[in-house]
Amino acid sequence: MEAYLVEWLNLLLRWLHIITGVAWIGASFYFVWLDNHLQAPKKQQDADGGVGGELWAVHGGGFYHAQKYKLAPPALPSTLHWFKWEAYSTWLSGIFLLALMYWYGAQVYTLDSNVMALSQAAAISIGIACIVGGWLIYDGLCRSPLGKNDTILATLIALLTCILAYGLCQVFSGRAAFIHFGAVLGTIMVANVFFVIIPGQKAMVAAASTGQQPDPIHGLRGRQRSVHNTFFTLPVLLVMVSNHYAMTYSHTLNWLVLIGLCAAGGLIRIYFVQRHFGKAKWPVLAAAIATLATLAWLIAPKPATTATTYAASAPFNQVQNIIQTRCASCHAAAPTQAGFSAPPKGILLETPAQISSQAEAIHQQSVLSRAMPIGNLSQMTDAEREVLEQWFAQGAAVQP
């Protein structure tokens, strides 16, 4: 019953995380687009009133006229909309989901003795330290003299994220490393909103409401952090779905795969920001495509060993015994592995017919990517994987 309740909690938290994430990222993308499409005001009275840019748009059967002030309007409106709870709700739902799946369920999803022998407490501590430490280091860099040079700052942030990706992949299972990497970036994004962008906006509103000139530093800081957030977005979205793609996180060079995917995401975002200004540079998009193509080539599985390589056939009863011992504790109608109330992806491996129907998946997940058993909980040996490889190469026959 506990596993069943956890599964429901997982579903609801994940659903909430997606809903709030769509709201936050959608608003973020829109305002970046809007900011990059502003034109000088057509009316002189608007310019004299402090308007720095405007944009006309049509959507949903109506016309919209958006204006952005250089600092603040002469008089604040009675109703002022804020955009913050989308970010906070996304982070809260995400961190609860992380705690449920990768901290409470660390034995299944985070720990991997083949990577590093850790206790559950140690793994949780490392995860929390990375999330908190990531923000403190990033924020310290932004507030330091180095933060005044966007090029140097961006280079340092890129270097540190590469170090983070490599380090996490040396202590956690690949799946957990990817998710914690995303949690660090996501925390930086929402902390930018909570500690920098919103306080700066409040200071500007407070100044404007008393007839004072807002300090432009708040706008400069907020814009810098917003730019960082928009380039973090695609890597964060990547790791949100990465658990579905074992070919990435289970590879021996998973840290390089993670860095490459994030670099491609950053390049794609650069391309679209350039498009906002009508100055799209195709080499940037080409670099992103080349990066993805290189990664696909790098992690491509080796050609399956041909049947003639083996002198003897792998008996199916031996294959079935391996599957029952190493896989069926999860992939059963009633899983006996703690933490599972139903077989993952509904895949059953209890009968010869079920095993035969999943031969391709067994070969991909247990032999090529070695992603299964998850975290190698059941301690499948290399010799057993070799038997499965031999069986598949010889046609995956189910012998009577």
Q: What is the mean pLDDT of residues 156-163?
A: 97
The pLDDT of residue 11 is: 92
Per-residue confidence at 289, pLDDT binned at 50, 70, 90?
very high
Helices marked H in the chain — which ranges? 2-37, 44-48, 85-98, 106-109, 120-143, 150-169, 174-191, 198-209, 216-241, 246-249, 254-276, 282-298, 316-326, 352-357, 359-362, 382-393
The pLDDT of residue 211 is: 83
Per-residue confidence at 304, pLDDT binned at 50, 70, 90?
low
**How far apart, in Å, are the Cα atoms of 388 and each of 303, 310, 332, 363, 392?**
15, 12, 19, 7, 6
The pLDDT of residue 1 is: 67
SS (H, E, C) 75-101: CCCCCCCCCCHHHHHHHHHHHHHHHHH
Highest mean pLDDT of the ranges 67-71, 163-167, 210-214: 163-167
